[in-house]
Each structure stands twice: as C-alpha cells, then as structure tokens.
Structure 1
Amino acid sequence: MANVEAAYRSGEGSKLAVDKVFYDSLKEGQAKRTLVETIKVPMRFGQAWKVPAGHVFRIRVSDGPQVGDFNMWNLHDPRERMWASRTRQLQRAHVSTHDRLWSTLPFLRPMATIIEDTLEDYGKDEDGGRVHDLLGTRCDPYINYLLTGEDFDFHCHSNLVRAVLPHGLTEFDVHDVLNVFQCTGLNEDDQYFMKPCPAQKGDYLEFFAEIDLLCAMSCCPGGDLSVDFLGRDGIDPLSTCHPLEVDIYRLDPVALENWQSPKSPAYKGVHGMRAPNIDWSVIKQDI
C-alpha cells in the first residue's frame, strides 16, 4: 500500500507541531508531581471527574484487561467538547504519545495531550489492529435493541449519561468517545472490527490537561472484548469485566513556567452571512 501523505500535516513549522521535549519533561520521574486524587470506576459503571488545566491525569488498568469509553468537555462551557472525527484527521485513528485530543467548533483547540502510553509498542498487529481507538464509538441501548430486540441499561452510553447528570449535563452532551485500551481496525471489506484488549494490570494512558476539564469514562460492559459484547454467542461477558482507576496529579509550577493554555483560532468572520440593506429612515417614518 502506498504511503500517501496526510491531508493535515504536523511536521516542523506546522501549527499542529507538538513540543515533544516539553511534554516528555512532564512524564513521571521528569517533573515533580503530587497525587491529588484517585477515582475508582467500578466494572460496568461510569464515573466523572474534574481536572484543572496544567494537571496530569492517568487512566490505569487496576486489575485485569478492560476497555474504557472516554468523554471530555470544557469544565466551564460543555458546548466545547472532544471532537473525535477532527482528532482522527489531525492526529490519527488510534492515538498515543504526543497526540492531542481536539475540541469542537468554533473552539478547535487541543483539550489534552497524551504524554505517556505503556501500550505504545503494541503498534500494528497481524490483523491490522491498533489500540486507543477513535474509529468506533460507545455501545448504547439503542443499537442493542436494534440488533437483539432486548433492553439493557448498562451500555457505555448509559454509563456516561448517569456519570454526567450530577454535573448538569444530559444524554445530549454525551459524544463520540476515545476507546481507551481497545484494539480495533478495519478489515479487508473496510468494516470495523474489535479484538481482545491487550492491556494488563499496571498499564496506563496519561494525559496533560491543556484547559480545565470535565471528564467521564465508562468501564465497558463488554469487558476486555474477548467475548461477543452483545452476548450473541450466548455468553455474558461479565467474567471479562474489570474496574479502572484514574489518578490526578498536580505538577510543580516550575515545570509549567513556559506553558500557556491554548487559544482558539482567531476566526472573526460570520461565515459569509450579511445583514440585508435596510433603509432605517423609511422604517422610522412608518413608526
């Protein structure tokens, strides 16, 4: 297959270029950090948490292999949220170290940058599978009913809805996800496939928060996806389900001396829309 050049280029001098030296300096052992909080996400459950700008959060496999469906919003304005499709274009379909998760229009800025990934060396397997997937989205009760005719409330979509309700968000705020630790790809017919999760206890994906964030994650009720996640083979994947944990760290201010929270692009236009020409003198006479 020809190595066709990417449409959005992040090479030297590009606005998309990442300061790898800076982000590497934030890794554990490089910059002083203090553990602020650990959030436990029970199996088949969802949880939400806040991360201040300039902090690090780590999604960690605390027990056994487990996929997590991840959402993210601007803490102060949930209209700005993670944009999975644009992130696929600007970064890649499966993200890892130095990739960024971008926000929706009209904001369009990096919300978080991945600074460490213990599964980075997984690469691409013999079936074309890779980890940390932006290709697919969350499982939900609507597709479950469509395919099986049965109701089941503990899908990732439902878990995320329950997680964000206490923060003033609703089902309409839940959006396409980053499937953390999930191994996926496209087959020869260009169809989406999922493979068993390769993550083991102690593996993690770590992010630097570029802005104040509200995050939410569901421990997928499909567990490690080694069993059909819809139960179509008659086996409940419950035995493959495990919890996940999230660690939030505060960095030493010295590590952030030259860092600034990213701004939105300075587009000042009105999308070509113009108000019609109005003769206000005539209107005033009529009044």
Structure 2
Amino acid sequence: MGPTDAAYQAGPGSPLHVDRDLYGPIGDDTAGRTLVEEFEIPIRSGRAWTVPAGHVVRLYTVEGPQVGDLNLWHRDNPRERFWAARTRQLHAAHVTRFDRLWSTLPYLRPLATIVADTLERYGVDDHGGRVHDTLGSRCDPYVNRMLTGADFDFHCHSNLVRAVAPYGLTEFDVHDVLNVFQCTGLNERDQYFMKACPARPGDFIELFAEVDLLAALSTCPGGDLSIPMWGPDARDPIEVCRPIGVAVYAVDDALLQGWEPPARAAYAGAHGTGLVSRPY
C-alpha cells in the first residue's frame, strides 16, 4: 500500500464493494418502476418525506442549475442518520454512482446507494472541482451572522429545521449534508471553494433506499452558486435560485432478487467495559 492510497481498504465481501450486477439494473431499468410520489421544493425552502426500503428516490433539476442540501435518517430511529465524514473516508469527498451513504455509529451501515447520476459526466474540472460533495456542510444563519452581521432565516440549516419539525425532529437532529449538484473542491491553500453548479434542466441523482428512510432537502438560498453569498462581490443571488424536483419510485420486484436490507454493524458495543448488550 502506497503513502497516498486510500486509508480504508476493504476486504472481499465488504459492503464497500457494491454488487454492480444487482444495483446497475436498479438504476438503468426504469420501465418497470411505479411512481409513488412526486413534488417540487420551491426556492429557499425545505421539505421532508419518507422513502420505503427497496425504493428509489430521484432528485432532479427542474428549470436549471440549483444546489440542494440533503439529510437522511432511519425513518424509525432518527439517532441513525447520514454520516458525511465516514462516507467521505469510505468512498470519496464527491460521490457518484455505486457509492453509498453511510450511517452514524453504532449502526454503521449503508442508508442508501447511488444508482444513477447524470452529472457523473462532469468529472474533474481544471480547478479540481467535482460534483455532489461531502466536504462542506450546510449554510447556516449562525455563520451568516458572524460574517455579515445580519440575520437571514432561509439558509439550508433553517430550511431543514422547518422541514423536519412535522416529524418531531428539531434543530439538534439536522446534520452535515450531501450537497447535491454542488461543485466544490480545495484550493492551493487547502481551503474549501464553491463553483457555479453545472447541472442542466432534467439532470438527476438517484438513491436506492437500503432501509426505511426519512429524507429532507433544502433548496439552497445561494441557488446555483454563480453569485457569491459572502465577500466583497456578494449580493442577493435570488435571481439564480430554482426549485428541485423529487420523485419516489417503487422498483420492479424482479430487480430486487438477491437484495436484503443491510444489518447494523456487528461490533458488540462493549468498548472495553465488559458489557455486550446493545439497548439501542
């Protein structure tokens, strides 16, 4: 293993090795799908919805480029939620088809597997920018107040807070996101940068739900990020804000032959205490 090889090396049979013969057709064979639910999330807002295990959710750009901030939880246990940092370590800082979105400890299992991504074509640009990032977090009113001295209630954090409230969740349940359609990277000073979203109308990313999910998405108030939100050139980017569409599909049962919902992590949870029970 070389000094720059991936630190997390998976052995044979690891869930990091996605069965492409199984998941490929789930993303490719759309003729047998049944539309369960479809809606649009307006600009500068958020919405939460459920996705049953074995279903596919498509997030798509309706009118043109627009960034979205996605949170995921286990529907029946919101303590189990998307873990951006571990996903970044196990797969990549920018995810695409056949990467998985992992849950927090002590569960550590795939919540969803990416089965389609039309922006996979973007690759890596001349500045090192890539799409669908786990590097950055959601924009929030606390940082905005620190940077500008002004309050603004429609950052992604606040949009997600409002979105999950009907499900009994609070601000404390909102967590680091998958930035869908967002183009980001690290500059020569190792600082996070954001570029204009390269999505076109109808571009999409699809997630296959490995467990029953609660999902929430914010349409970022920065829109397509072509106008800076902070700094000397900042101005209100509302003119480049657009909705994001969401569609949930039931998958043809024939495509699910051989699939099973993933089990939670096998570690007993003793942590050296001598206790092996897992009451959670």
Q: Does 1:222 align with 2:231?
A: no
Identity of aligned residues (%): 61
Q: Does 1:79 align with 2:79?
A: yes
Mapped to 2, the partners of 1:61 and 1:116 lie a distance apart of: 14
Partner of 1:252: 252
Mapped to 1, the partners of 2:13 and 2:80 lie a distance apart of: 27
Q: What aligned pairs does 1:208-287 form with structure 2 within 5 A after superposition?
A: 208-230=208-230, 232-274=232-274
User: Given residue 152 of structure 1, which amino acid in structure 2 is its aligned partner?
Assistant: F
Partner of 2:92: 92
SS of the residue corresponding to residue 157 of structure 2 reads helix
Q: What aligned pairs does 1:88-127 form with structure 2 within 5 A after superposition?
A: 88-127=88-127
Q: CA deviation at 1:257?
A: 2.0
Q: CA deviation at 1:232?
A: 4.8
CA contact (8 A) 1:231 1:237 kept: no
Q: Aligned pair in 2 of structure 1 residues 234, 88: CA closer, same or farther (>3 Å)?
A: closer
Q: Aligned pair in 2 of structure 1 residues 192, 216: CA closer, same or farther (>3 Å)?
A: same
Mapped to 1, the partners of 2:61 and 2:176 lie a distance apart of: 22
1:215-245 C-alpha deviation (Å, 9 max, x unpaired): 0000000000000123752521000000001
Mapped to 2, the partners of 1:146 and 1:104 lie a distance apart of: 29
Q: Aligned pair in 2 of structure 1 residues 189, 234: CA closer, same or farther (>3 Å)?
A: closer
**Structure 2, unpaired ranges of 5+:** 276-280
Mapped to 2, the partners of 1:96 and 1:223 lie a distance apart of: 21
Partner of 2:44: 44
User: Given residue 227 of structure 2, which amino acid in structure 1 is its aligned partner?
Assistant: V
Which region of structure 1 is more displaced relative to structure 2, 16-25 or 163-172? 16-25
Q: CA deviation at 1:29?
A: 3.0
Mapped to 2, the partners of 1:259 and 1:14 lie a distance apart of: 15
Q: What aligned pairs does 1:183-222 form with structure 2 within 5 A after superposition?
A: 183-222=183-222
Q: Superposition RMSD on alpha carbons, in Å? A: 1.6
Aligned residues: 274
**Structure 1, unpaired ranges of 5+:** 276-287
Mapped to 1, the partners of 2:273 and 2:38 lie a distance apart of: 48
Q: CA deviation at 1:28?
A: 4.0
Q: Aligned pair in 2 of structure 1 residues 270, 193: CA closer, same or farther (>3 Å)?
A: same
Which region of structure 1 is more displaced relative to structure 2, 26-35 or 199-208? 26-35
Mapped to 1, the partners of 2:170 and 2:221 lie a distance apart of: 21
Mapped to 2, the partners of 1:259 and 1:13 lie a distance apart of: 14
Q: Aligned pair in 2 of structure 1 residues 218, 30: CA closer, same or farther (>3 Å)?
A: closer
1:33-58 C-alpha deviation (Å, 9 max, x unpaired): 11111021001110111000000000
Q: CA deviation at 1:118?
A: 0.2
Please report the TM-score for the alignment, with normalisation by the length of structure 1: 0.92
Mapped to 1, the partners of 2:147 and 2:44 lie a distance apart of: 20
CA contact (8 A) 2:51 2:213 kept: yes
Which region of structure 1 is more displaced relative to structure 2, 172-181 or 36-45? 36-45
Mapped to 1, the partners of 2:11 and 2:240 lie a distance apart of: 41
Q: Which has the larger radius of gyration?
A: 1
SS of the residue corresponding to residue 182 of structure 1 reads strand
Q: Aligned pair in 2 of structure 1 residues 73, 232: CA closer, same or farther (>3 Å)?
A: farther
Partner of 1:280: none
1:8-35 C-alpha deviation (Å, 9 max, x unpaired): 1247544421101110111243661111
Mapped to 2, the partners of 1:43 and 1:263 lie a distance apart of: 37
